Amino acid sequence: MTKVVAPEGDFTVTVVDLGPAADAAAAVSAATALVPSLAGLTIEETVRPAATDGWDERTTSYFEVPPAQNRFALAAAYRRGDRWVVLIADGSQATLGKRGAALGTMSASLRPAGFVKEDFSGKKANPLTPERIEALKSFVRSGMDQLKVPGVGMALIEGGKVVWEGGLGLRDPRGKAPVDAHTRFMIASNTKGMATLLLSTLADEGKLQWDQPVTALYPSFRLGSDAVTRSVLVKHLVCACTGLPRKDVEWIIAGRATTPAADTFRQLAATQPTSGFGEVFQYNNLMASAAGYLGGHLAYPKLELGAAFDRAMRERIFAPLGMKDTTFDFAIATKGNYAAPTQVGLDDQVEVFDQTFNSHVIPYRPAGGAWSSAHDVAQYVMLELNKGITPSGKRLVSAENLLARRAHNVRDGEDSWYGMGLSTRRRYGLDFVYHGGSMAGYKSNWYALPDSGVGLVLLTNSEDGNPLIEPALRKLVELLYDGRDEAAARLAAAGRNVASGRHTLRDKLTLGRAAFDALGLAPRYRNAELGDVSFSTGAKGEAMVTFGELSGPVAVQRNPDGTASLVGTGGHVFGFDVLVGKDDQGKRTLTLRDPQHVYIYTEG
């Protein structure tokens, strides 16, 4: 048995080389019996990832933990032949929030002795013939069916040109309009790489240096203490390496589309890193937002921050690349040829919701507010593959400053690093440059494979789009290099596990107004940072909750310690989870958590 303890002392990973066991459940039971901290916990859900990397079978079991403990516990079982290995993770959610990349690296690198990784280094890629393109499209269609994804925008690049672009499925499941190459999707955090490209052009012009203090360019910038502020260089704004925790709850709930762009800097001034520079990967949208606004300010210092950024991106990035579908303007983006956001509800039906949730990113749009199409994102990916030369043959940015964005600033997985607004990965003996995007009802990724000059763009209009994307990339690798046939199994496992998670949540909830009324909640609660929470009755008599501008139905969840939580079951609040309680003065409270922050609403 091997045990690794996080520096904070409150999170432990234990690996048990167990040997033979009757099955996965028996292996998990035997291994967890060796970890006293798990005594008394029960397994809430077990999922079965695809058996890859030399394993014959894999399961991951999640333990049910009272929410007040802010704790995470799982047991992942791996079988090769008749031998089982079990990895157990148990500890503080806050520490997991800081060191999740390290846990992911440990679990991803656990392989049976003697396993030989696929290695396509030096191998010439197969051409993307019409037959291979059709095979990938067929694979994506299969994934759409399994995951209930209504529409996908897709593009494939090879040899410096787009060899296929178009759409699969529907823009909106309520209609018949098909997705095409120019259908707009919200591309969310894929905006980051484009915004750092703006910084690269400014570096070429001598208007900034990557190692320059941010305060030398924008004197009012603040991050926590004076000492931390002085340490922040331009590259730190987009490296996910400053130790700044994710802090999205405030802008998601308290934000408004009309909030000024300067709010990014207000929030950063009140935020302190929770780990050292370069120590761990911690993704923070506010820092990326600040980077984009800094670029806009340097390009057009007399304009308001948001207007300056929009103009700089339009004139310096989108127009030179011919990205005519791409915009930050929600009013333009959501008219005509655009894909509606969807999610699969607890009843397994696809539902469409409005853009209120997504509009809250507008004030922080350099981090994730762009709308684009498969055609347009492909133009950007070709620039990445061509090291700064546009598809029309003109140099937009120097290779030096484009490639600076791929520096290995901090490890975010096994053989994977975050640079500046994008990630790089070494897998199968190949290099990948990529990023993903996630907003409500939209999941997307782009990939550039420099070894073969191939690129892939996948844009989806579904909250469950992500489980389709990595298997599709794997399928592309199989087609290019005659790789092992694993993509289909990965996709099937993803489909099963997404449905299992939805059904597990549904089984934990008590639907109906009676259970809600029995909680004796106050009609209104307030938090100084996030604003009000209130309750109402929906058209079908269901209990509804409203967080600021976000609303939807809720159900009651009974927790293992006897407490109760309210869980959003649809609309803008799907998956929101607040703990019902009282404070020391007996006032009724609702507690909302993310891994490193706690927000308490009090009645009144």
Q: Are 406 and 415 in contact (CB under 8 A)?
A: no
Report yes or no on 153 lying in a domain: yes
> Domain check: are 554 and 447 in the same one?
no
> Domain check: are 456 and 534 in the same one?
no
> Domain check: are 374 and 295 in the same one?
yes
Domain CATH number, residue 480: 3.40.710.10
Give pLDDT tens digits for 407-437: 999 999 999 999 999 999 999 999 999 999 9
The 3-class SS string of 415-481 reads CEEECCCCEEEEECCEEEEEEEEEECCEEEEEEEECCCCEEEEEEECCCCCHHHHHHHHHHHHHHHH
Give pLDDT tens digits for 492-533: 999 999 999 999 999 999 998 999 999 999 999 999 999 999
- 600: closest CA among 586, 580, 585? 580
The string of DSSP letters for 549-593 reads: TEEEEEEEEE-TTS-EEEEE-SGGGTT-EEEEEE-TTS-EEEEEE
Give pLDDT tens digits for 39-88: 999 999 999 999 999 999 999 999 999 999 999 999 999 999 999 999 99
Report yes or no on 591 lying in a domain: yes
Neighbours of 244 (CB within 10 A): 26
> Domain check: are 51 and 134 in the same one?
no
Of the residues 454, 470, 500, the one at which a domain ends: 500
Q: Which residues lie closer than 8 Å to 175 by C-beta, 6 or more apart?
A: none
What's residue 358's pLDDT?
97
- 185: closest CA among 439, 470, 469, 357? 439
Domain CATH number, residue 596: 2.40.128
> Domain check: are 141 and 77 in the same one?
no
3-state helix, strand and coil shares in percent for the chain, rounded to the nearest 5: 35, 30, 35
Give pLDDT tens digits for 128-155: 999 999 999 999 999 999 999 999 999 9
What's residue 158's pLDDT?
98
Of the residues 63, 89, 116, the one at which a domain ends: 116
Distance between CA atoms of 62 and 43, rounded to whole angstroms? 6
> Domain check: are 341 and 321 in the same one?
yes
Give pLDDT tens digits for 244-256: 988 899 999 999 9
> Domain check: are 44 and 19 in the same one?
yes
Residue 255 CB-half CA count within 13 A: 25
Domain CATH number, residue 86: 3.40.1000.10
Residue 11: is its pLDDT beyond 90? yes
Determine the structural domain holding residue 480 and report its residue range. Answer: 130-500
Give pLDDT tens digits for 328-342: 999 999 999 999 999
The overall average pLDDT reported for the chain is: 96
Reported as a pLDDT band with limits 50, 70 and 90, residue 276 is: confident
Report yes or no on 121 lying in a domain: no
Report yes or no on 312 lying in a domain: yes
> Domain check: are 496 and 515 in the same one?
no
The residue assigned the tokens 């050292």 is: 276
Give pLDDT tens digits for 334-391: 999 999 999 999 999 999 999 999 999 999 999 999 999 999 999 999 999 999 999 9
Residue 241: is its pLDDT beyond 90? yes
Count of domains forming the chain: 3
Residue 280: is its pLDDT beyond 90? yes
H/E segment holding residue 487: helix 487-508
First to last CA, the chain: 52
> Domain check: are 315 and 189 in the same one?
yes
Percent of the chain with pLDDT over 90: 97
| Identity at 521, one-letter amino acid code | L
> Domain check: are 474 and 548 in the same one?
no
> Domain check: are 191 and 331 in the same one?
yes
Reported as a pLDDT band with limits 50, 70 and 90, residue 162 is: very high
- 519: closest CA among 555, 465, 546, 568? 555
* pTM recorded for the entire structure: 0.96
H/E segment holding residue 124: none
Residue 302: is its pLDDT beyond 90? yes
Q: Are 326 and 372 in contact (CB under 8 A)?
A: yes
> Domain check: are 16 and 135 in the same one?
no
Reported as a pLDDT band with limits 50, 70 and 90, residue 589 is: very high
- 321: closest CA among 387, 376, 368? 376
Report yes or no on 125 lying in a domain: no
Chain-centroid distance, C-alpha 254:
20
Q: For the stretch 50-77, what's the b/e string if a residue is b when 16 or more beta carbons lie within 10 angstroms of its beta carbon?
A: bbebebeebbbbbbebebeebbbbbbbb
